[in-house]
Amino acid sequence: MYFDEAVNQYGNGIGILLITLEGFHIPLAIKLNFEATNYMAEYEACIAKMEALRELRVKEAEVFEDSTLVIAQAQKLWKVKEEHLKPYQQYLEDLTMTFNKIEYVIIPIAQSQFVDALPTLASMVEILAGAWT
Please give the residue range of the domain that contains residue 41: 2-124
> Is 118 within the bounds of a domain?
yes
Q: How crowded is residue 69: how many other Cβ atoms within 10 Å of its Cβ?
A: 16
Q: Does residue 38 fall inside a structural domain? A: yes
Number of domains in the chain: 1
Domain presence at residue 133: no
Q: Would residue 51 count as lying in a domain?
A: yes
Mean pLDDT (the chain, rounded): 79
Q: Note whether 66 and 107 are within 8 A (CB).
A: yes
**Residue 92: partners with Cβ closer than 8 Å, 6 or more residues away:** 43, 46, 47, 50, 70, 74
Band of residue 124 on the pLDDT scale cut at 50, 70, 90: low
In percent, the amount of the chain with pLDDT more than 70 equals: 74
Is residue 50 assigned to a domain?
A: yes
Global pTM value:
0.75
Looking at residue 87, its pLDDT comes to 95
**Closest C-alpha among 30, 44, 29 to residue 91:** 44
Quick one: average pLDDT of 96-100?
Answer: 94
19 assigned to some structural domain: yes
Q: The CATH number of the domain where 71 resides is what?
A: 3.30.420.10
In a domain, 105, yes or no: yes
Of the listed ranges 35-39, 100-104, 113-117, the one predicted with least confidence: 113-117
The confidence score (pLDDT) of residue 94 equals: 94
Give a yes or no: residue 131 inside a domain: no
Question: Given this model, what pLDDT does residue 97 score?
Answer: 93
Q: Which tens digits make up the pLDDT trace of 54-90? A: 988 999 988 888 778 888 998 889 999 999 999 999 9
